[in-house]
């Protein structure tokens, strides 16, 4: 395990109570030398003090965020919605690298003006609607994309723990992965900075080298951004 670098801190948004998924995300980042800060709903953390941001999974984003009323029975956490929205707003202002996982990918899309399909269960044709912790779902990747370069191939096996999906794509985003029913499995920025949202949960697949690369490449982007920012602040060496 790499030694954590002083000053390299990644914020991880989450619910009031930290769960296994968040501990796994923290572990996945620590493997590559990052310290982490868990951010609970209502937190007033100063995003300018972070070097990167992970928007983790959890409860559904309330449909009012994309102009709809709830169509399914679900748990919502409006305080977390508000906190994550602020975190992403400030992260984008500082051009921090951002990784969205499941709910986090959906929030990125909503933040950019997109929408969600609130229940994809009756729309499945080629896939079964059941939770999969193992990487048994086929995901097809866009080769010429950040995610395609990370995963080193045109298809991967991924897990599936979601019942909603991106519907209308947000501004400045591109779809870079689909499942066999053409539901969006990943989006990334078209605007030149490191912004990636994946619909699956790579933190449960840390034993898999390709899924581990998501955390490796994210930390590498955070490190590069940090060094560039320090260089800009401190100026060239004499």
Tens of pLDDT, residues 162-179? 889 999 999 999 999 999
The reported pLDDT for the residue numbered 5 is 46
What would the two tokens of residue 160 be? Answer: 């599936």
Percent of the chain with pLDDT over 90: 82
**Residue 190 in contact with residue 145, Cβ under 8 Å?**
no
> 124 vs 150, which has greater pLDDT?
150
pLDDT digits (tens, 9 = 90+) for 10-26: 999 999 999 999 999 99
Architecture of domain 9-234: 3-Layer(aba) Sandwich (3.40)
State yes or no: pLDDT of 108 exceeds 50: yes
- First and final CA of the chain: distance in angstroms? 35
pLDDT score at 162: 82
The predicted pLDDT at position 232 comes to: 61
Q: Is the pTM of this model over 0.85?
A: yes
Give the helix/strand (H/E) hosting 187: strand 184-189
* Average confidence (pLDDT) over 188-193: 93
* Whether the Cβ atoms of residue 119 and residue 71 lie closer than 8 Å to each other: yes
Please give the full DSSP string across 18-44, using - where no structure is assigned.
--HHHHHHHHHHHTTT-EEEEE-TT--
Q: Of the ranges 65-69, 85-89, 120-124, 198-202, which one carries the lowest mean pLDDT score? A: 120-124
Task: Report the C-alpha gap between 183 and 185 in whole angstroms.
Answer: 6
Task: Please give the pLDDT value at position 209.
Answer: 97
- Over residues 150-168, the mean pLDDT reads 94
pLDDT of residue 237: 35
Q: For residue 25, count CB atoms less than 10 angstroms from its CB and return exposed for 0-12, middle for 13-18, buried for 19 or more.
A: buried
For residue 94, the model assigns a pLDDT of 96
Q: Is the pLDDT of residue 235 over 70?
A: no
Q: For a pLDDT cut of 70, what percent of the chain falls above it? A: 95
- How far is Cα 180 from Cα 137, in angstroms, rounded to an integer? 8
Spatial separation of the C-alpha atoms in residues 137 and 103, rounded to whole Å: 18
Angstrom distance (rounded) from CA 200 to CA 136: 11
Catalytically annotated residues? 102, 201, 203
Examine the pLDDT at 4 and tell me if it is beyond 90.
no
**Domain ranges within the chain, ordered by starting residue:** 9-234
- Structure tokens belonging to residue 187: 């989006």
Environment class of residue 91 by beta-carbon count within 10 Å: exposed (0-12), middle (13-18) or buried (19+)?
Answer: buried
Q: How many CA atoms lie within 13 A of 11 on its CB side?
A: 28
For the record, the structure tokens of 70 come out as 């709830």
- C-beta separation of 184 from 199 below 8 A: yes
* Tokens matching residue 111: 């933040």
Per-residue pLDDT band for 132 (boundaries 50, 70, 90) equals confident
Average pLDDT over residues 64-77: 94
3-state class of 190 per DSSP?
coil
**Which residue is associated with the tokens 């990052």?**
34
Q: How confident is the model at residue 230 (pLDDT cuts 50, 70, 90)?
A: confident
């Amino acid at each position: 395990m790499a030694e954590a670098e002083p000053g390299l801190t990644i914020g991880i948004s989450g619910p009031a109570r930290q769960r296994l998924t968040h501990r796994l995300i923290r572990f996945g980042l620590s493997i590559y030398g990052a310290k982490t800060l868990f951010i609970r709903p209502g937190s007033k953390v100063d995003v300018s003090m972070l070097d990167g941001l992970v928007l983790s999974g959890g409860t559904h984003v309330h449909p009012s965020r994309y102009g709809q009323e709830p169509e399914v029975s679900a748990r919502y956490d409006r305080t977390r919605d508000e906190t994550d929205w602020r975190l992403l707003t400030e992260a984008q202002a500082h051009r921090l690298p951002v990784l969205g996982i499941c709910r986090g990918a959906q929030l990125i899309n909503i933040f950019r003006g997109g929408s969600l399909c609130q229940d994809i269960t009756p729309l499945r044709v080629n896939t079964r609607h059941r939770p999969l912790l193992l990487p048994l779902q086929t995901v097809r990747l866009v080769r010429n994309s950040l995610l395609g370069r990370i995963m080193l191939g045109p298809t991967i096996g991924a897990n599936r723990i979601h019942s909603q999906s991106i519907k209308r794509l947000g501004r400045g985003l591109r779809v870079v992965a689909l499942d066999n029913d053409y539901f969006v499995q990943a989006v990334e920025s078209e605007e030149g900075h490191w912004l990636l949202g994946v619909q699956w949960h790579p933190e449960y697949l840390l034993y898999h080298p390709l899924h581990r690369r998501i955390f490796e490449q994210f930390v590498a982007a955070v490190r590069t951004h940090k060094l560039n920012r320090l260089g800009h602040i401190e100026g060239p060496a004499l």
